Amino acid sequence: MALASVVPVYRLGFALLTLAAIVTQLVSLAAAGTLDAVNYLTYFTVDSNLIATILFLVGTARWRSERSASPSTALRF
C-alpha cells in the first residue's frame, strides 16, 4: 500500500477520533448536569481540536484532487 493512500485513512481516523473525544466529553458533562455549552466551547483545547478535525476532514476529502505543476501556484489567491 502506497503512502499516498495510507495518509487519507489516518487523517480520517484521527478526525473521527478527535470528534468522538469532544462528543464524549459533552455527553459526560451533560449527564453530570454540569454542562455549560458556551463555556465548554470557549476552551482553547476544544477549539483547536475542532479546527484540527475540520482540517483533517478537508485533507481527506481533497487527497485525490488535481495538484498544480509548481509549488508557487499554490500560494496564489
pLDDT, one tens digit per residue, over 14-41 is 999 999 999 999 999 999 999 998 899 8
Q: Is 42 within a domain?
A: yes
Q: Is 45 within a domain?
A: yes
Per the structure, the count of domains in the chain is 1
Q: Is 55 within a domain?
A: yes
Mean pLDDT of 59-73: 69
What distance in Å separates the CA atoms of residue 57 and residue 45, rounded to the nearest whole number?
A: 18
Q: Which amino acid is at 31?
A: A
Residue 41 domain boundaries: 35-60
- Is this structure's pTM higher than 0.85? no
Q: Is 26 within a domain?
A: no
**Separation in Å, CA 11 to CA 27, 34, 37, 52, 61:** 24, 32, 27, 10, 10
Q: Is 47 within a domain?
A: yes
Residue 32: count of CB within 10 angstroms of its CB: 8
What distance in Å separates the CA atoms of residue 14 and residue 59, rounded to the nearest whole number?
A: 12
**25, three cell numbers:** 466529553
